[in-house]
Structure 1
Amino acid sequence: MDHGQTAFILIMAALVLFMTPGLAFFYGGLVKAKSVISMMMMSFGAIGLVSVLWVLYGYAISFATAGDGTNIVGKTGLFSIDWNLIGLGQLFEQARASTLDASYPLMAFAGFQATFAIITVALISGAIADRAKFGAWMVFAGIWVTVCYFPVASWVFNLTDGWIVKLGVIDFAGGTAVHINAGAAGLALAIVLGRRVGFAKGAHKPHNPPFVLLGAGILWFGWFGFNAGSEGNADGIASIAWVNTLAAPAAAILGWLLIEKIRDGKATSIGAASGAVTGLVAITPACANLTPGWGILLGFVAGILCCFAIDWKYRLGFDDSLDVVGVHLVGGITGTLFLGFFANDTGLIYGAGFRQLGVQALAAVTVLVYSFVLAFVIGFAIEKTMGFRVKTEDEVAGIDTAVHGEEGYVLFEEADNSPVGAGARR
């Protein structure tokens, strides 16, 4: 066993897990002050629920191999289960062994992949900020991750039997499985839940830009584990992924701020944070297959496109609260298709023809449609049964107190209404 490689994977997994609390800060700062607890709780709820489901059966679905599992729908069905991997029992026995044929225990790989499932589910929550019930969100998250994320992860990350990877699609770290998947689901839920009260451009301003910048910084830090860690080893490919994970979001910040300055006259902190995340999204599928120069171009283009894309919701009439569609769906598609033109050796500019672009587009469209349809059906069923959206009066007042019985900012003591920190005795 290579202890260095094992340590590398475990450290990268910890970095990716740290991204979800970072996302909680990023999203939490973007909503109104009376919804910050609700917003952050949806990310932490995803950590709790998805972690358990991944250990119980998620890995067994995502990394089942032909002949070892029982297909749920036909021979090449939507997903299969390797019953030997239920509860990670087989991996537990392997990890206990003193030596392995593999250079690192598969239990480490299972832990790394678990963090991808967690962040994907958490990303969706931004589309329904300020108006979703926590219990309904948890029900949706459990069903969606089971019937949508786990199978799609198998298509993309299962090197043995995933049809997307076997088709020759390049998706190094999850542009399709994570970002297009989450963006399409977010669009579906935004349509199911409908618009927020008072939905209009400029009506809902971020309450805490420092939270947004902090969250973006944590996300960027964790994303080095997300992309470089997907190589599974501390080698040259991981180094390429690392540098592209630095360069692309940096260029995306510049692209986003340029459009803001030209269009609105001001470059904003929210724009800088959004640009960084946009570049990270776009480079995710491409980080190991672009030279850094092309990585910069991808980031710059994605920053510009997504800066325009976040306004589409006002024109098309769907209320994607925190721009999951504009950033993750559009950014994920941009990065996935960019590879068809600029992927090293196989891109169109290298004279390799249109095949790479064709398979990239096929994967993007398939995941988009699959995720959108399932998310819409699941969300619609929840809305019509237990209800997905909070009462209008709770939405207007802010849902933290109604849903969680807490406030994000307690500025006065309950006993005497004295301002906290104003010298009042406690």
Structure 2
Amino acid sequence: MTPKISALLPDLSPWRSSRDFRLLWVQGLIAYFGSFAAMVALPLQIKDLTDSPLAVGAMGAVELVPLVVCGLYGGALADAVDRRKIILVTEAALGLLAVVLLVNAMLPVPLLWPLYVVAAGVSALAGLQRPALDSLMARIVPHDQLTAAAALNSLRWQLGAIAGPALAGLVVAYAGHGTAYGTTVVCFAVSVLLCLRLSPAPAAHDAERPSLRAIAEGARYAWSRPVLLGTYAVDLAAMFFAFPHTIFPFLAEDLGAEWSLGLMYAAGSVGSVVLSLTSGWTSKVRRHGLLVVFGAAGWGLAVAAAGWFSNVWLVLVCLAFAGAGDMLSGLGRSTIWNQTIPDELRGRLAGIEVLSYSVGPQLGQVRAGAMAGWTGTRPAFWTGGLACLASVGLLAAVLPKLVTYDAETDEDARRRRAARSAGTDAEAEAEAAPEPSRP
């Protein structure tokens, strides 16, 4: 293999250096596959029961408040208790909610309201779990391998996102919603077994109990860092204006290609996987803020183009390019977060990160559903994409520190790197500290 080709391939250093990273990677792949199977079946079942774009878009509304509340609390919880326990308990609870979906789907006439209740419950559990997962990464992976770890994690996510929706679309079409939900139950059962093998990840001995004051301390830190604010703002804008997943069933119908629904959900992941498989060059990037801006702008432009074309294959190509742009932006965000945030605040900042990359899609679902009901499905795509492009350009202009961020010279990145090298970071203290009791 030539050196040029080797430089493009993913950097596997985190996989070789960390057992917990390998466990989380495999566990995440299985859990993502199950989650995406339900992600396709749930909105499609609501569509079948109501035939209303607004009813499907309302999923975003019922998921929003639990995500905000539990995301913030989950961030404070991740700084105060064993992060492994949080991941294990929430993963088991997600499996139980999948059982509820399965039982409801087996009824002679499935009920509508449990679908919204489960959607809200999944959002709450995701808000509790994601800060623990995200904050754990900076502890189990060496500092200089964080970009490589982000690329491998994104590759894992996208592999699940490709296989899950594509197969779920076929399963729902030929075997029904219940079979898709049954697949989800099995995947979460396996995921829980893998989580049991993770090493304990106790908090530092001086960790604060979850409280409003602790949450506020994390928010003040984020507000005082323009680079962090930029990553949050760009992602919120991109997802709010150009997150079209909730109206994919209506786009497939509008194009006369109902068979393409699973492919629409999977297309973005195909683009992301292609970028992941050629991500070796990203380990050498220092200006990660530029990845955030250019990736989000590319996402918006590609979503707008998807709304202009009437050929389903061109639409799928556009969605694949959108996924590549989102992947590029996500690599930049994840690297900046892990390079600059001190471990004692990592959980609380991860809670804010959950809001930044989850609230946007939830609000985006509501916007897309309402816009599609008002102007039609395809205008909802291209108007949102253009609004995304304009908002990202505006944010880049008013937040220049994000654009000029340099991993070698940024003060917070240098401080974090020095702490890891000197062994003075909070995770080093945690190894010898007794585990605090659950509040």
The TM tier, using the shorter chain, reads: 0.3 to 0.5
Higher relative contact order (CA 8 A, sep 6+): 2
TM-score (norm 1): 0.33
TM-score (norm 2): 0.32
Structure with the larger helix share:
2
